[in-house]
Structure 1
Amino acid sequence: MSFFGGGTDFPEFYLEHGGAVLSTSFNKYCYVNVRHLPRFFDYTSELVYSKIERVTDISKIEHPAIREAMKYLEMYELRLSYEGDLPARSGLGTSSSFSVGMLNAFYALKGKRVDKRTLADDAIYLERSLCAEAGGIQDQIAASFGGFNRINFGADGYRVNPVILQLERKKELNNRLMLFFTGFSRFSSDIQKEAQLSIETKINQLLEMLQLVDEAEKVLTTKSGLSEFGKLLDYTWKLKRNMSSKVSTEAIDLCYEKAKSAGAVGGKLLGAGGGGFLLFYVEPEYQNQVKEILKDFLYIPFEFEDEGTRVIYYAPESFDLEGVRQYSGRGDME
């Protein structure tokens, strides 16, 4: 859940100007279960996500992240299943959370425990290089490290700095944030490509969005009224809408204005844009009004979390690499 600085995590921007985002992980999860597939079947790997793939050749896997991750870490003969608390293509980093979780599971199956930076770096490499997907690098880092952080980007890489908040103030912020699912989904990479191409013409907006990270962090870590956080969300949303014609739609704009008319101080569409989840800052006395005026949209309660990716069940499996079944190009066993 990225509050401020989105777009400054593109290498095209931060390598020259520096970048930063203020973001948090929260208690909605994706679950990736991986084990080696017993050799009883006429296929060597079974992959279950929104569809089921059964293949005898890794290169024939349709899901790009699974295919490239299996090649990258030399994984063979797998049964992989995925399920998530949130829908895909919804602007909440679900694809990067999947990539990070899958890589974590692959390493664990090999009997390796790797640190969070390795997982973040591998997920960035997987999505941005191996799968050639457009976009920034904040989601992979947030999913790996977890917690409420300021992530700085520069020519020397990235640095994750936890934002130190008093427990009660953090709870107050959490209680003033409301999340609604618009019901619209889209492929963020399509929007990210346009945003990436427009970076050179949007430098001033991105620099202003970068400055808002400092202002928002100051609001949180001083005695400033939390409502200022909501006002800054409103301002960064106006800047973000001008980054690309695909960021918002008439329906999303109408939903946003309805929420403000009911008492929301500000908010923003999460992710690349075009659909997904709207986040609002709403003082407690106006939250019922906002729920009522947005009753056609699904309200999603949530809580901040601090752990990031983790292995829930750890049972490494020995695997005979030399015994990997070889198949011809036709998919027949040789």
Structure 2
Amino acid sequence: MIVRARAPLRLGLAGGGTDVSPYCDLHGGFVMNATIDKYAHAMVDDAPDGTVAFEVLDHDERIAFAPGACEQQDGKLALLVGAYLRISRDFLGGRQPAIRLRAHSDAPPGSGLGSSSTMMVALVTALADYFSLGLGEYEIAHLAYEIERNDLALTGGKQDQYAAAFGGFNFMEFHREDRVIVNPLRMKPWVLAELEASLVLYFTGVSRSSASIIDEQIRNVAGGESDSIAAMHRLKEEATAMKEALLRGDLRGFVRTLQAGWEAKKRMAASITNPHIDAIERVATANGALATKVSGAGGGGFMMFFCAPHDRVRLCRALDGQGGTRMDFHFTNEGAIAWRPT
């Protein structure tokens, strides 16, 4: 038997960072995000050699254990092994059955598209189907979050897991005691079409570790750093404003909130932007970009630009000279899914 699964990557549109503790525990966090047709992929099948085997296909890394001898790993295999060990502990009574778990992603780690957390959701979705666990979206997202943050001690927020599990355009609320509410938006088709015609997604060529940036943000909130906390309050406001703009089809409002959110985000931690990002933003603005946003924690990864559709070709040509790579995409309403090919 083989089970395949995939989970969609997401664009962080507004409010990113307010889903990180302790801010969301103290003040509540609001995030507006949307999933795109780029995915993290996972596959589970019966191990042909009777081992417990793990493979990260896009990095050509592999490790195998005898059943019952599986131990947590570091590096790129950590997510796969961590997901398997948690499923074994919580649902299989500690039993470690012989399986082969493989994974790969359409985006590199550190991309700002939630790639690591999306991969964890894909892994949990695949394992839950393989072992017939019957988990729903909230359960999968929460379990993925706990594996990353508690079992693997990886720093980060909560939005990525829920975006990957649910899919679509969502306004998310994050409260104390891990209470999360996902509010799907009913988007007008013409608004989706206009967004796809106007947004340019650009990889800076720099993959960064979000942990150091988020750690700085956490220190600022825990230490009561007033400018950082005020910026996060503003990000919450912008997430609400963006939700309302999207539901009304107010694209001018969308542009205003996208840029305002980026300006507020840069005040959360010094490492969110850098001279390389600032230079790309200046080039984009000079060539038709009406708003800029770095997706994810910042420091590198993917940047988003909003332009009038008639300026798209000019903007893309200018970005092509900056050393990075553009990525074409479409929005998707489908969250994580698993299937068993015949």
TM-score by length of 2: 0.87
Distance change >3 Å, CA 312–CA 196, structure 1 → 2 = same
Which residue type is aligned with residue 270 of structure 2?
S
In the other structure, the counterpart of 1:70 is 84
Q: How many residues are treated as equivalent by the alignment? A: 312
Deviations 1:41-90 (A, max 9, x none): xx542423424222323115333222222221114322122122211211
Question: Paired residue for 1:35, among 45, 48, 61?
Answer: 45
Residue 209 of structure 1 deviates from its aligned partner by: 0.8
Task: Quote the sequence identity (%).
Answer: 28
Q: Distance in 2 between matches of 1:162 and 1:223?
A: 16
Unaligned runs of 5+ in 1: 316-334
Match status 1:47 vs 2:55: yes
Distance 1:48 1:219 in 2: 40
**Secondary structure at 2:100 match in 1:** strand
Hey, what does 2:176 align to over in structure 1?
A: 155
- Within 5 Å, which residues of 2 pair with 1:104-119? 104-119=125-140
Code of the aligned partner of 1:59: E
- Equivalent residues of 1:212, 1:236 under 8 A apart: yes
- Unmatched runs of 5 consecutive residues or more in structure 2: 1-10, 89-95
Give 2:296's aligned residue: 271
In structure 1, C-alpha distance between the alignment counterparts of 2:46 and 2:211, rounded to whole Å: 31
Query: Is 1:295–2:317 an aligned residue pair?
Result: no
The letter for the 1-side match of 2:201 is L
Q: Note the alpha carbon deviations across 1:189-240, whole angstroms, 9 max, x for none.
A: 222111111123121111111011121122122253x133122211211111
Change (3 A) 1:301 1:223: closer
**2:244 aligned partner, one-letter code:** K
Which range is displaced more, 25-34 or 62-71? 62-71
1:37: Cα distance to partner? 1.1
- Given the alignment, which residue of 188, 196, 200 partners 1:174? 196
Which residue does 2:36 correspond to in 1? 26
Task: Give me the whole-angstrom Cα distance separating, in 2, the residues matched to 1:73 and 1:123.
Answer: 10
Secondary structure at the counterpart of residue 67 of structure 1: helix
Question: CA 1:223–1:309 in structure 2 vs 1: closer, same or farther (change >3 Å)?
Answer: closer
Write out per-residue CA displacement over residues 214-270 of structure 1, whole angstroms, 9 at most, x where no aligned residue. Answer: 21122122253x133122211211111121122112111100111011111102111
For 1:273, give the aligned amino acid.
G
Matched, 1:282 2:307: yes
> C-alpha separation between the residues in 1 aligned to 2:183 and 2:174?
11
Q: C-alpha distance in 2, partners of 1:19/1:208? A: 11
Partner in structure 1 of residue 149 of structure 2: 128
Q: Give the secondary structure class of the aligned counterpart of 1:22.
A: strand
**Conservation of the 8 A alpha-carbon contact between 2:30 and 2:172:** yes
- Looking at structure 1, the residues matched to 220 and 208 of structure 2 have their Cα atoms a distance apart, in angstroms, of 19
Higher strand proportion (structure 1 or 2): 2
Is the 8 Å Cα contact of residues 45 and 54 (structure 1) preserved in structure 2? yes
Bigger mean CA offset, 188-197 vs 143-152: 188-197
**Structure 1 residues 60, 137: closer, same or farther in 2, change over 3 A?**
closer
- Is 1:80 matched up with 2:101? yes
Structure 1 residues 297-306 or 76-85, which shifts more?
A: 76-85
- 3-state secondary structure, aligned to 2:42: strand
Work out whether 1:189 is the aligned partner of 2:211: yes
Shift of 1:19: 1.1
- Looking at structure 2, the residues matched to 259 and 294 of structure 1 have their Cα atoms a distance apart, in angstroms, of 7
* Residue-by-residue CA offset, 1:276-297 (whole Å, 9 max, x unaligned): 1010111111111111111133
* CA apart distance, 1:165: 1.9
Output the amino acid matched with 1:65.
L
Moved over 4 A (4+): none
Seen in structure 2, the aligned counterparts of structure 1 residues 168 and 131 have a Cα distance that, compared at 3 Å, is same
Considering only aligned residues, what root-mean-square deviation do their CA atoms show, in Å?
Answer: 1.7
CA distance 1:217–1:66, shift in 2 (3 Å)? same
Paired AA for residue 47 in structure 1: E
Q: TM-score, normalised by structure 1?
A: 0.89
